[in-house]
A = this chain, B = another copy of it.
């Protein structure tokens, strides 16, 4: 709608690139069509190859996404004004732009979610009409030169109005989010093309992408987005189309990044990942989602180029993020301020930001690292993040969401901000998370398994089937499991003669894994498996493989430098982290005054269907009522002795008997599905001196 910019480099020639032949290969692929990428160890399966049953945890989640979350998105795109913003540019709506300047991305992510769902369950495409209407709207709103971001476009000039209005496009790469919006448009178009074969949205997306190539590609201006995301999308568009210009643009943006091109502002350059060249970074820093999307995009690039320097940088980033800045839930980004990573070991449970989108981005990055390296530690992280940080964001009804995911909410917490809510909300002023969740969940089965020249690898355990068509190797597997609530995974090999690799998760304790192949029990040296990549490999020919992972409830402690949870343990069973909630305590007992009893047995408790918890954990605790007074002297002239100072004179009666109390812990990702109230993952242990 806006006038074309005065000078335009000519459109890139469509290259006769060898990659073009690959476009066929990626038909029917999932979100990451790296099956033909030259530098991956593991190849993703076709999108339809894996089907999760609704009896399993992940399949159930996908069904909820379909029945509740997707309709909720469609309704909120309307009520939030995101669609009206586009109608406004198309001359069909009279009113101001509403929302943040990246509001279009809510539409695009929702279209992507719908497209994956259409591929997952092609039998009932309830939203095809909606999608076609939106695609038509996007095409109508698109500028003649391909640009498409309704925040920066102007409505059609009124009669008599000057047509020469200021062009606001591309005037603020730092905050503009225009390339971010392009990225999500591209991902939606890729999904729709792969799952339906329809190219209507792809035509729109390519026009915008080609516009970006002309502007920022070779011969154009140097530039990259203040919010990374377009990099991974451009690589995917290259994978779909074989058009080298998209890959080159992603490469160009990654190469230029960190040159300070985004300029100064109220935020530090690291916020925008503009503080250092990508190859030079040593620490996960800045805005967490920006950092993680960038890392995912760089991993995509490495899959195509094999550049070792970038891979090395990614491993350094990983070790920083996951080795010093990750919550036990897999949540990343400790700080509310700037939604950013904190210092190493700065992991407050109460002020954990742990944005839902950061958890999603973390999983996407981990998946790409897994494809690049084949190392199970990346799949371990996918599993942890999925079953905790990601899962916690959504209510049992599928229509309420957390933006940030704290590991502790105190009694009396002020949760009035959407960024520190203690109850899930139906929508947000900054609504990035709900549609991001939906697109992930609709495509979740794509992350379950991979293959290589030897056979198939199972990374995430979920009840379902894996079926590769004949030209893909004739494999049919039936996976039966109540994972993550039960550690037994049974794989029936209905067809196929390749090797079967099963991940032995990092949480499995020594002696905690038993493998049975066609009834023959094999010893699993857990430590050795972990040391050699994390998978047990079953030779070709087996028909039934059973992996039995012992799932005792365990108490874990954090690295001693994580000061914020000193003297506390988190309860975990399998990959699932548990928490205490005020709702499970008797009247008059405040959660902050409750501790676990040292040496107490951890019992598996009965399920709680009301909150969707098949498993609970029970243990003896104590109630230590605290008196008033912020400080107490516990040693005059000396540090308190090991056995002393348990309760200071200002803090309570040291001779008062500690009241025993039966505690119940529920899965962390199911918290806040009852009355609003206090919650904590890390629980103090009475009398424990670690």
User: How far, in whole Å, are A628 and B324 apart by their CA atoms in the complex?
Assistant: 9
A382 within 8 A of B: no
Find out whether the CB atom of B685 lies under 8 angstroms from the CB atom of A687.
no
Q: How far is the CB of A559 from chain B (nearest CB, A)?
A: 5
The answer, yes or no, to whether A81 is at the interface (CB within 8 Å) is no
Contact A350–B563 (Cβ < 8 Å): yes
Contact A639 B569 (CB under 8 A): yes
When the two chains form their complex, are residues B565 and A639 in contact, meaning their CB atoms are under 8 A apart? Answer: no
Q: Does A553 make an interface contact (CB < 8 A)?
A: yes
B626:A559 contact, CB within 8 angstroms? yes
Q: Among B343, B555, B602, B684, point to the contact of A414 (Cβ < 8 A).
A: B343
| CA gap between A211 and B345 in the complex, in Å | 53
With A564-B348, A630-B324, A689-B642 as known contacts, state yes or no: A636 contacts B416, CB within 8 Å.
no
Say which residue of B593, B632, B689 sits within 8 Å of A556 (CB atoms).
Answer: B632
Given known pairs A599-B639, A640-B688, the reply for A631 and B559 (CB within 8 Å) is yes
Q: Which residues of B lie under 8 Å from residue A660 when comparing CB positions? A: none
Contact B634–A557 (Cβ < 8 Å): yes
Chain B residues within 8 Å of A553, by CB: 637
A159 in the interface (beta carbon within 8 A): no
Contacting pair A640 B555 (CB below 8 A): yes
Report the nearest B residue to A628, measured CB to CB: B323
- Answer whether residue A567 sits at the interface, using C-beta atoms and an 8 A cutoff: yes
- Nearest-Cβ distance from residue A119 to partner chain B, whole angstroms: 36
How near does chain B come to A78, taking the closest CB pair, in angstroms?
Answer: 23
Quick one: which of A635-674 are within 8 Å of B by CB? 635-648, 651
Please encode chain A, from 548 to 570, with 1 for each CB lying within 8 Å of some chain B CB and 0 for all others: 00001111111111111111110
Segment with Cβ contacts to B, from A9-17, A219-227, A334-342: A334-342
A169 within 8 Å of B (CB atoms): no
Would A637 and B559 count as touching, CB distance under 8 A? no
Inter-chain contacts of A335 with B (CB < 8 A): 336-337, 351
Interface string of A600-617 (1 = CB under 8 A from B): 111000000000000000
Known contacts A335-B336, A413-B343, A566-B566: A323-B630 contact under CB 8 Å: yes
Task: Identify the interface centre among A599, A635, A686: most chain B CB within 10 Å of its CB.
Answer: A635
Q: Given B348, B568, B645, which contacts A690 in the complex, CB threshold below 8 Å? A: B645
A551 to B565, CA, bound (A): 32
Q: How many angstroms from the CA of A412 to the CA of B324 in the assembled complex? A: 12
Q: Is A543 among interface residues, defined by CB-CB distance under 8 A? A: no
Q: Do the beta carbons of B634 and A690 come within 8 Å of each other?
A: yes
Whether the pair A597, B639 counts as a contact (CB closer than 8 A) is yes
Alpha-carbon distance between A417 and B264 when the two chains are bound, in angstroms: 13
User: Are A555 and B639 within 8 A (Cβ)?
Assistant: yes
Q: In whole angstroms, what is the CA distance A212 to B598 when docked?
A: 64
A202-233 vs B: 1/0 string, CB under 8 Å? 00000000000000000000000000000000
Are A568 and B569 touching (Cβ within 8 A)? no
Report whether A630 and B563 are in contact in the complex, using a CB–CB cutoff of 8 Å.
no
A336-B336, A337-B337, A637-B602 given as contacts; is B560 within 8 A of A651 (CB)? Answer: yes
Collect the chain B residues with CB atoms within 8 Å of residue A560's CB: 592-593, 624, 626, 651, 684
| Chain B residues in 8 Å Cβ range of A602 | 635, 637-639
Q: Is A355 an interface residue (CB 8 A)?
A: no
- A291 at the B interface (CB under 8 A): no
Return A511 CB to nearest CB of chain B, in Å: 10
Chain B residues with Cβ below 8 Å from A686 are 689
CB-nearest residue of chain B to A286: B414
Q: Which 8 A-B pairs have the closest CB atoms?
A: A689-B689, A555-B635, A599-B641, A336-B337, A598-B642, A642-B687, A552-B637, A567-B567
Between A and B, 24 residue pairs with Cβ closer than 8 Å are A270-B414, A270-B416, A285-B414, A328-B630, A328-B631, A343-B412, A345-B410, A349-B563, A554-B633, A555-B634, A555-B640, A557-B631, A557-B640, A559-B629, A563-B564, A563-B592, A563-B682, A569-B639, A596-B639, A599-B638, A599-B639, A600-B639, A634-B690, A643-B689
